[in-house]
């Protein structure tokens, strides 16, 4: 059950292949999270799923038809994409940017409807940006701006939402707020979400379906509890860790091993230890 899938997808920039022969079936009505080291092809894959990038070979299939054969408007009504570094038109206000999410729903005979208005107001309320409605987007903080972009993607009101690192620039409380919002949208409206997250623990916490990529290939996919092991973390990120159950959710929690500490006897006191100079040892001795 997958409205959106990639089949034998190879993606390249000029002659540099970045993603090779990738097969991915996005499970309907679930939250899929893509993780992997920097530059492994996560954003490239997401952009291809949203038809921002044309495949070198293979295809992305939406409702049984290749994206390349579908009209742009039809794709935009089904799939919303928030890219990793979106750029806003100069001096545009928050409300106007969010309203642009409605473009795929507008027609020449009806430029702006009540449904459009409702979707914009609702999207701004859900992302806590209503108070910023009249502010220029370029005068906002990184975190505020990020929430405005998410509002725009929500206003588009698509069944499938692709989000590339939606929590970047957000402090931890806003990260949790956005991820909870994503979960709620998924639960309340049965939306399918595909998100790239750089935080492995958040990914393991929020994903129904986790996709681990490395060097343009899928290394493992499945429910986080089934696939996240210390071996996988080592294979994908080259990091030594232990994996324990998250005390709140029970999902896998990755804890890196062996943080650097100053060698004992040196002058570092990271562990709160005092150095051990010779006069300490010799005190009280003859
Ligand atoms: N527009 C582009 N032109 C050329 N190379 C690109 C472009 N975008 C990304 N790349 C390269 O493709 C590789 C994968 O990038 P990307 O998909 O953004 O990785 P990730 O999102 O996993 O960090 C990187 O080596 C990156 O430098
Ligand atoms: Mg990226």
pLDDT tens readout for residues 30-39: 999 999 999 9
Q: Which residue has the higher pLDDT, 225 or 105?
A: 225
Range of 106-115, 239-248, 264-273 with top mean pLDDT: 239-248
Q: Which residue's CA lies nearest to atom 12 of ligand 1?
A: 18
| Nearest ligand to the C-alpha atom of residue 13 | 1
Q: Distance (Å, rounded) from C-alpha 31 to C-alpha 90?
A: 33
The average pLDDT across 149-157 equals 92
Strand ranges, E, within the chain: 4-13, 16-26, 31-35, 57-62, 65-66, 79-82, 160-164, 192-196, 209-214, 217-222, 241-245, 252-256
| Nearest ligand to the C-alpha atom of residue 37 | 1
User: Quick check: CB of 38 below 6 Å from ligand 1?
Assistant: yes
Q: Which residue's CA lies nearest to atom 5 of ligand 1?
A: 13
pLDDT per residue over 244-286, tens digit each?
999 999 999 999 997 888 887 655 445 545 455 444 443 334 3
Q: How far is the CA of 34 from the centre of ligand 2 (A)?
A: 10
Task: Supply the pLDDT for residue 267.
Answer: 55
User: Quick check: CB of 46 below 6 Å from ligand 1?
Assistant: no
Task: Supply the pLDDT for residue 121.
Answer: 96
Range of 98-107, 152-161, 209-218, 252-261 with top mean pLDDT: 209-218
Q: Which residue has the higher pLDDT, 1 or 56?
A: 56
Beta bridge partners of 33: 195, 210
Task: Supply the pLDDT for residue 185.
Answer: 83
Q: How far is the CA of 176 from the centre of ligand 2 (A)?
A: 20
Mean pLDDT of the chain: 90
Cβ-count burial of 135 within 10 angstroms (0-12 exposed, 13-18 middle, 19+ buried)?
middle
User: Quick check: CB of 44 below 6 Å from ligand 1?
Assistant: yes
Statement: residue 194 has pLDDT above 50: yes
Task: Supply the pLDDT for residue 113.
Answer: 85
- For residue 97, give the nearest of 148, 168, 167 by alpha carbon: 148
% of the chain beyond a pLDDT of 70 = 92
| Nearest ligand to the C-alpha atom of residue 83 | 2
The average pLDDT across 21-42 equals 97
Q: Copy the structure tokens of residue 180.
A: 């909870």
Q: Which residue's CA lies nearest to atom 23 of ligand 1?
A: 39
User: Quick check: CB of 13 below 6 Å from ligand 1?
Assistant: yes
The average pLDDT across 149-177 equals 92
Q: How far is the CA of 41 from the centre of ligand 1 (A)?
A: 6
Read off φ and ψ for residue 82, nearest 5 degrees: -105, 105
142 pLDDT tier (thresholds 50, 70, 90): confident
Q: How far is the CA of 42 from the centre of ligand 2 (A)?
A: 5
| Domains of the chain and CATH, by start | 4-222 (3.40.50.300)
């Amino acid at each position: 059950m997958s409205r959106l899938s990639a089949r034998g997808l190879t993606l390249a920039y000029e002659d540099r292949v970045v993603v090779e022969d990738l097969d991915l079936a996005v499970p309907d009505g679930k939250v899929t999270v893509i993780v992997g080291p920097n530059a492994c092809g996560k954003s490239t894959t997401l952009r291809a799923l949203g038809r921002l990038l044309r495949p070198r070979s293979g295809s992305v299939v939406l409702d049984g038809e290749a994206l390349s054969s579908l009209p742009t408007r039809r794709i935009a009504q089904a799939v919303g994409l928030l890219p990793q570094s979106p750029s806003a038109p100069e001096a545009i206000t928050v409300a106007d940017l969010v309203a642009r999410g409605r473009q795929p729903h507008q027609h020449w005979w009806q430029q702006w409807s009540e449904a459009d208005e409702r979707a914009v107001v609702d999207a701004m309320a859900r992302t806590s940006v209503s108070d910023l409605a009249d502010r220029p987007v370029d005068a906002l903080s990184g975190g505020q701006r990020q929430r405005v972009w998410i509002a725009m993607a929500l206003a588009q009101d698509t069944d499938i939402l692709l989000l590339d690192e939606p929590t970047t620039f957000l402090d931890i409380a806003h990260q949790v707020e956005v991820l909870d919002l994503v979960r709620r949208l998924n639960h309340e409206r049965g939306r399918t979400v595909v998100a790239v997250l750089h935080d492995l623990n958040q990914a393991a916490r929020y994903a129904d379906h986790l996709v681990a990529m490395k060097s343009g290939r899928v290394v493992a996919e499945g429910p986080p509890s089934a696939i996240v092991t210390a071996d996988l973390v080592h294979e994908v990120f080259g990091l030594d860790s232990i994996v324990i159950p998250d005390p709140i959710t029970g999902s896998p929690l990755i804890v890196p091993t062996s943080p650097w500490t100053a060698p004992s006897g040196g002058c570092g006191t990271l562990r709160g230890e005092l150095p051990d100079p010779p006069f300490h040892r010799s005190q009280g001795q003859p």
